[in-house]
Structure 1
Amino acid sequence: MTILLIQLPTSHLGSNEIVYPVGLSRLSSVLKTRGAYFTAMDLNLYKDPWDTFKQALINTRPSAVGLSFRNLDPLGNNLTSYLSSLEIGAKLTKSLSNALLIVGGPAFSLMPRQFMEKFLEIDIGIVGEGELALAKLVESQWNPMGVPNVIYRSGDKLLLNRSGPHISMKEIPSLDLTNLSPLGYLGHNSYVAPMGIEGKRGCDLNCGYCVYPRIGGFRVRVRSPNLIVDEMELLNKEYGINLFHFTDPVLNKPTEHFEEIVREILKRRLKVGWTGFFREDHVSESQIEMAKEAGLVTIYFSADGAYSKALKLLNKHLTSELLTRAYTFAARSKILTVYHFFLDLPFETEEDREEMKNFIYKLVELHYPNKNLGGIVFSRIRLYPNTPLTTFLIRKNLVPSHINFLYPYYFSNHDNSYLMYELDSFTKQMSIFSLMGIDGVRNENLSP
């Protein structure tokens, strides 16, 4: 039995920003430890990914093909969809082979039934974490009956098996660095860390629009700090990786776990840089300073709401005061800091927009002297099915119930769209002026 394990191309078209497929690498280890004969490859590495895939199908003549579908679309107001990657991959598989087609990954897991209904080429889908499900499918010789977290075809019906337990964080497979070498990811990226590190899986924050808990679980499961830093140290010493991004939905929650990781990096005197998303109400100045000493080079914040009503609408359980406190610590640290906010939200009023502009102006002012504003990313909110916010907006008749969320759908008030571009222009010019040390335009541009 020959298996072809594929990471579908889901990078920005024409972008050199590519990241190592951590999830696929762990699945590759699952096959490796079971003695399966397989080939694993990431199509994002190739200039002509589809010809590469075609040749792989012809040369390996697989009995099963596994496609990992990581991103549905690139977000950030971008109306590009990566559905074509899945469609091309599925059709090529069935056109050039008699292989069983298995699809999984974060994007697929968001709407598995919709994907199976749209792409009839898919035989089996894995929903959520794939390590345990893939192992059971291989052991059963691809018989999906009774395998938890699997959806499959039975005649003209789609059958979704029950959910099973999540894998223990002590048992997640190591990365398969032989079949999927990290070396191919060096030297491409301008700003994105090429290597992801898993500190934990799952999220218990229940933000109103977010799908992370549906992918990784509603309970936080942490990895051993020793194992995390073991992985970083190996990748640094054996492969020359010196910049990592923690893939956790929130890096510094739980606080104790995060600080244990930082202390372990310091203890080993590991000279690497790393980045991650921080939760504002778990930030302290001493925490940031310790993390800086351990190699933290970029702080990402994603409060998403830049005014009080937005924070409530998005169920963030944060206040403007908490945000300002955390952002003050970040600005003073001189670590490059990047922020993410949604604009043009439902029920937004002129008063809200004024509050938002004042907040953004103050945020820029915080960073101006230290020249460490990496950017403020403004976007409309991308809606997904069955989230509390989407359900609420459909009930209020603000979003049509018939929308196909497989495709990018951003909420917009239309008449307020100018504000996103206005604030984006303002923050970019202030960041440039700050780096240049130009103070003459500062006060003039910081007035609402």
Structure 2
Amino acid sequence: MDVLFIVPSMSPYLLQECRGSLELAQILKSNGVSVDLLRYWQADLDLDCFSKLVTNIAKKVDSFNPRIVSFYCRCDVYHVILSVAQTIKKRHPEIVILLGGPQAEISARETLKAFPFIDYICCGEGETTIFPLISSILSGHPNLSVDGLTYINENGVVVQNKLPNLICDNYKMGFACYQLIPHTVITNSSQAVIEVGRGCPFNCSFCSSKTFWKRSFRLRNIDDIIDEVQYIYKIYGIKSIRFEHDIFTADKKRIRAFCEKLIEKKISISWRCSSRADTVDEDTIILMQKAGLKGIFFGVETGSERMQSIIQKNLNIEKTKEIINFCVNLGVKVNASFMYGFPQETEEDFSDTLNLICDLIDMGVQRVQAHLVDFLQGTELYEQYKDQLIFNGRVSNLATQFGILRCNYIQENPQIFAAFFDYPSELRLILDYIEPFLRCYIRFHNNMRKIRAYLGGDTMIMYKRYREMVININEGGEENVKLVPNKKYDYIENDKEIIKKFYSIFNISKNVFDINANQKT
């Protein structure tokens, strides 16, 4: 085999497929290059042992006998990728190792210096460069002038070529790459992911997307999207779609044209997308729902107007609540995402965020996410605080803790693995139980809402008392209420006891307490 693409797909579902790697593989295949993809789940995965996971993936490569191995790299699994690549190189020094994807691009120079077993890193969008590069390597005469290529020359100097031009707006992709997806993945899946565009025009200080996509907002050709929707329904019977784009709704005129065409063609699908609250209005949401919209993701990040300005998100909080409430009342399922632990954030700022989160839950938002802020290369946040980051094993739930303590090179290379580093602040420590608190608030919503109302809406007081109780439990202070073993930040087995303690602490009448009434699950 000529080229094997290795992608971090952990389970056999379409939602886990890596569309970018599929597209590049299809380009090579159409030009006569023999290709295949290896997904993590196709190896004998052992998620209890990092070294076995790495070894098993590397061993699986043997059955393909590739000349070139290419990895798609995300920051959350970059340590896994590099460990697998190193193992492959030790077993088969003749195999050429390529890296691509956002994390490889954003740390290309540093990665090549620190990990000499990597031969090349491909930066930028690869549709126009993948075949010229691969064909030249296969011929035995690598073309080192290919746009986007980063490598170490014969003098030991890192060379980074200019990036390739971004693909144009209104681009077409087609969908021949479905032929490269295992039949098992198709039959297991009731929902598909379809790329509908690239790039975000906004400038949030914590987000690396603007760096990777150069803030170049593009939408895929509407007819090309609809052709793919019809194809996967006709061939595979799938009519539930997640449209993949950071902000599908940034161009209101085109999202309306897309919805009108779905309606005109009488295409009956259910779909979800990501949006930004200030890029939609009530009329647009109504049209989107008429065209099949079932769920929408809003990145809100913070409930503090001050922090909205500092992180350059610049959402109006009240207008955001209004559009989310409108969606909920219309029957559109909302997923609202927040971040906490910004270096500039105060307890008062986070109190605003926590109150907003609980306001949204109270109004019927189906899902709320809260993530500890991480510091990604390519962001203003990283550049401002990179010298203050420490490695202590504490990571955002956007990353993974799996194997990071076994990889010494993570601590030695903060400029590559910043996502696994922490910013030391008192607020971040105080908020260490915010995720289980929110799960408890949702799980026992009726009772938690009553307690919150009794406290005049001061959710921060509730959280602090919750944290005190859980710390007491962790230290063995309570025998009848225990955390799930080995999951300090996860569910509490007996949440009912926690709720009862809330009522006792705040001296709320027991006749208000009804643990079984209309609880959310």
Question: Shared fold by TM > 0.5?
Answer: yes
Deviating more after overlay: 81-90 vs 377-386: 81-90
The verdict on how the C-alpha distance between 1:96 and 1:400 changes in structure 2, with shifts beyond 3 A counting, is: closer
The 8 Å contact of residues 61 and 97 in structure 1, kept in 2 or not, is answered as: no
The 8 Å contact of residues 380 and 410 in structure 1, kept in 2 or not, is answered as: no
Of 71, 75, 98, the match for 1:72: 75
2:376 matched residue in structure 1 = 384
2:110 matched residue in structure 1 = 114
The verdict on how the C-alpha distance between 1:308 and 1:17 changes in structure 2, with shifts beyond 3 A counting, is: farther
Give 5+ residue unaligned stretches, structure 1.
74-80, 368-372
1:413 matched residue in structure 2 = 425
1:95 matched residue in structure 2 = 91
> Equivalents in 1 of 2:312, 2:183: separation in Å?
38
Of 354, 364, 374, the match for 2:366: 374
Q: SS of the residue aligned with 1:277?
A: strand
Task: Quote the offset at 1:103 in angstroms.
Answer: 1.4
User: Paired residues, what number?
Assistant: 421
2:210 matched residue in structure 1 = 213
Deviating more after overlay: 284-293 vs 44-53: 44-53
1:78 matched residue in structure 2 = none
Task: Quote the offset at 1:54 in angstroms.
Answer: 4.9
> Equivalents in 1 of 2:247, 2:195: separation in Å?
11
Task: Quote the offset at 1:333 in angstroms.
Answer: 1.9
The verdict on how the C-alpha distance between 1:411 and 1:194 changes in structure 2, with shifts beyond 3 A counting, is: farther
> Equivalents in 2 of 1:182, 1:310: separation in Å?
47
Task: Quote the offset at 1:147 in angstroms.
Answer: 0.7
Normalized against structure 2, the TM-score is what? 0.73
Give 1:49-448 correspondences, 5 Å limit. Answer: 53-54=57-58, 57-69=61-73, 71-73=74-76, 81-96=77-92, 98-141=94-137, 143-155=142-154, 156-168=156-168, 170=171, 172=173, 174-181=175-182, 183-184=184-185, 186-187=187-188, 195-367=192-364, 373-394=365-386, 398-399=388-389, 403-407=414-418, 408-419=420-431, 421-422=433-434, 424-425=435-436, 427-433=438-444, 438=446, 442-446=449-453, 447-448=457-458
> Equivalents in 1 of 2:306, 2:286: separation in Å?
32
Q: SS of the residue aligned with 2:329?
A: helix
In structure 2, what residue type is equivalent to 1:374? Answer: Q
In structure 2, what residue type is equivalent to 1:64? Answer: I
> Equivalents in 2 of 1:335, 1:227: separation in Å?
26
The 8 Å contact of residues 390 and 423 in structure 2, kept in 1 or not, is answered as: no
Task: Quote the offset at 1:283 in angstroms.
Answer: 1.7
> Equivalents in 2 of 1:266, 1:326: separation in Å?
23
In structure 2, what residue type is equivalent to 1:170? Answer: Y
- 1:377-400 residue CA offsets vs partner (Å, 9 max, x unmatched): 111111023422222335xx7547
Task: Quote the offset at 1:138 in angstroms.
Answer: 3.0
Task: Quote the offset at 1:305 in angstroms.
Answer: 1.8
Output the aligned Cα RMSD.
2.9
The 8 Å contact of residues 209 and 383 in structure 1, kept in 2 or not, is answered as: yes
Give 5+ residue unaligned stretches, structure 2.
46-52, 392-412, 459-521
The verdict on how the C-alpha distance between 1:209 and 1:399 changes in structure 2, with shifts beyond 3 A counting, is: same
Q: SS of the residue aligned with 1:275?
A: strand
> Computing the radius of gyration over CA atoms, which structure comes out larger, 1 or 2?
2
Q: SS of the residue aligned with 1:383?
A: coil
> Equivalents in 2 of 1:265, 1:210: separation in Å?
32
Task: Quote the offset at 1:109 in angstroms.
Answer: 1.9
In structure 2, what residue type is equivalent to 1:164? Answer: P
Task: Quote the offset at 1:27 in angstroms.
Answer: 0.5
Identity level (%): 19
Deviating more after overlay: 47-56 vs 382-391: 47-56
Task: Quote the offset at 1:185 in angstroms.
Answer: 5.0
The verdict on how the C-alpha distance between 1:182 and 1:326 changes in structure 2, with shifts beyond 3 A counting, is: farther
The 8 Å contact of residues 12 and 188 in structure 2, kept in 1 or not, is answered as: no
Task: Quote the offset at 1:60 in angstroms.
Answer: 3.9
> Equivalents in 2 of 1:98, 1:353: separation in Å?
53
> Equivalents in 1 of 2:428, 2:153: separation in Å?
48
Normalized against structure 1, the TM-score is what? 0.84
- 1:51-91 residue CA offsets vs partner (Å, 9 max, x unmatched): 7755664344322222222x221xxxxxxx54123321342
The 8 Å contact of residues 7 and 67 in structure 1, kept in 2 or not, is answered as: yes
Task: Quote the offset at 1:243 in angstroms.
Answer: 2.5
The 8 Å contact of residues 195 and 243 in structure 2, kept in 1 or not, is answered as: yes
> Equivalents in 2 of 1:72, 1:335: separation in Å?
32
2:474 matched residue in structure 1 = none
The verdict on how the C-alpha distance between 1:6 and 1:50 changes in structure 2, with shifts beyond 3 A counting, is: farther
Q: Which has the higher contact order (CA 8 A, sep 6+)?
A: 1
In structure 2, what residue type is equivalent to 1:159? Answer: V
